Chains A and B, each alone.
Chain A
Amino acid sequence: MIGMLVPAAAFFAVFFILPMFRLFLVGGSGASGWAAYMAIVTDHSYFSSLLATFGVALITTLASLLIGSIVGVFLQRHRFPGRRALVALITLPMAFPGVVVGFMVIMLAGRQGLISQLSMALGGGRVVFAYSLVGLFLGYLYFSLPRTILTVMAATEKLDPKLEEAARSLGAGPWHIVRDVILPGLKPALISAGAICFATAIGAFGTAFTLATRINVLPMVIYTEFTLSANIAMAAALSFVLGALTWTVLALARSAAGNTVAAAA
């Protein structure tokens, strides 16, 4: 019976564990040796892109949790015709590859984008912000919101409305109910959705690639080191560190949210 596991385990060992080990060795084989693994904090330009990456990821996470929980609770609590179709439609983006997400941002805020056209028509000049960190943020939001909304909707479904009625009958106002009843109930879902937002935003490559190669986030730096500078050791060290960081964020969130989210994270 345990033999049924062998093919998958063998595949995984040969094509993931072994290559990752190799990547780790390659990372220490460059001009700077094992110090390459420290470069992310000791080298000024790498460190600044690490900060930029974390900054965008953090803002994306906070924004999508805030917006996603309001919209998620609203969509779960109100019934209207076409609700199911609407939810189906707005959850499509979470299966889009990063390049397509980047293109959606270009359609919205690029040179020929909607916002640029509107601002020109209103006489406000051409407004273009797709090809920058703001564009990247919009892209991550575009990708993360659907998942956050879905997660919040699923968690809201499990909230007991009786608790809110009880709070209301005891004289609690809407903000009180949100703070003391709804938010604690959604907490595990929010932690797990937030961790996924953060982790995906740290490691995202396709979106930044489509928007601009000049955006100074870690995945773009790794890509540039690998292709343009042919500095394979540094690319390996940086991507190993990036992978470890992403994994840590997910693992921390899972232990913070308790085992109930294990299946959802």
Chain B
Amino acid sequence: MFRKSLFVAQLCLTLLVCLFLIVPMLLSVLAGLTENYFVGLSSGLTFRWVIQVWQDYSDTIFRSVWIALACLAVNLVLGVPAAYALRRANNRWARAFEELLVLPIAVPGLATALALIAAYGGWSALRTSWLFILIGHVLFTLPFMVRSVLAVLGSIDLETLEEGAASLGARFMQRFFHVVLPNCREGILTGALMVLTLSMGEFNMTWLLHTPFTKTLPVGLADAYASLRLEIGSAYTLLFFLMIVPLLLAMQFLARPRGKSRNAATGKPESQSIIKEPVTP
């Protein structure tokens, strides 16, 4: 009897939490498609607000996509080789560097942005360029790419693979591109999805780094929330969801335990947590 009421209590709490997490998303989607949210659904459904947002804010959407792609490119160039070097070095210094690399996640975005402004804010060509935002985004996303590639590299026997290739006469660059990279494909893919998602949603830093000519999607969202009617804010959020949810679902699909991607140490399927680092809201 007691056991049963315990079960019911747990079930109720779980349902409540699910409602708490899901209902606001649904309400927001609904509000973005409703003629007049205050009147309610009886006022009819419309794409009017979505169209209006697209007309007024599509530039922020394109800019965010562009910055996210550029951020991914920089991450591939900087992060993947760095992860490889860290894996191969595998000593105290490598771990210290890895710790250092995670600092921009641990330190609030506001502080990082102020630091960038303090150091380079006077250089107006950079300050007014989208590149300034890109720098912030790369700092913030690099640890995710490095860690997700490192996680894969840690689970394969890199030394044996490389030795094999080297004994067949493969040079360093050949080994890197034809042995190392194909083997950490999955880590790169997960890292890439994470980088795109985080860059597209980054607000804390971007709010201080942007100028009126370099507004990104979350900056536009904050504008819309502050000054426009609820339906427009919701429609804008709806567009944001449309961009970000496919990326998140792809990430969850990749993180799903499958037969071949098992944890090398325990032999158990990898856990399903997708974002392992703190992301400051």
Contact = CB atoms under 8 A, between A and B. Distances in A.
Q: Is the interface of B mostly helix, strand, loop or mixed?
A: helix
A99 B221 contact: yes
Interface residues of A, number: 93
Interface residues of B, number: 91
Interface in A196-244: 196, 199-200, 202-207, 209-210, 219, 222-223, 226, 232, 235-236, 239-240, 242-243
Dominant secondary structure at the A interface: helix
A92 B275 CA distance: 11
A8 B81 contact: yes
B191 interface: no
A9 B97 contact: yes
A246 to B, nearest CB: 6
B262 interface: no
A16 B104 contact: yes
A232 B116 CA distance: 13
A102 interface: yes
Given A99-B221, A112-B38, A246 B2 contact: no
Nearest to A149: B17
A11 B280 CA distance: 22
B222 A142 contact: no
A5 B100 CA distance: 13
B248 A92 contact: yes
Given A8-B82, A19-B115, A114 B275 contact: no
Contact of B81 (A7, A75, A101): A7
B111 A23 contact: yes
A114 B22 CA distance: 13
A247 B107 contact: yes
Nearest to B98: A262
B36 to A, nearest CB: 11
Nearest to B218: A97
Contacts of B107: 20, 203, 243, 246-247
A207 B111 contact: no
A262 B27 CA distance: 38
Contact of B85 (A4, A196, A264): A4
Contact of A99 (B2, B115, B222): B222
B281 A219 contact: no
Given A5-B81, A19-B116, A240-B111, A89 B281 contact: no
B140 to A, nearest CB: 10
B197 A95 contact: yes
A196 B176 CA distance: 35
Contact of A96 (B13, B115, B201, B268): B201
A236 B118 contact: yes
A102 B218 CA distance: 12
A205 B202 CA distance: 11
A103 B229 CA distance: 12
A147 B281 CA distance: 13
A145 B81 contact: no
A51 interface: no
Interface of B: 2-3, 6, 10-11, 13-14, 17-18, 20-25, 27-28, 31, 37-38, 77-79, 81-82, 84-86, 88-89, 97, 100-101, 103-104, 106-112, 114-116, 118-120, 135, 138-139, 142, 146-147, 151, 172, 176, 197-198, 201-204, 207-208, 218, 221-222, 225-226, 230, 233-234, 237, 240, 244-245, 248-249, 252, 268, 271-276, 278-281
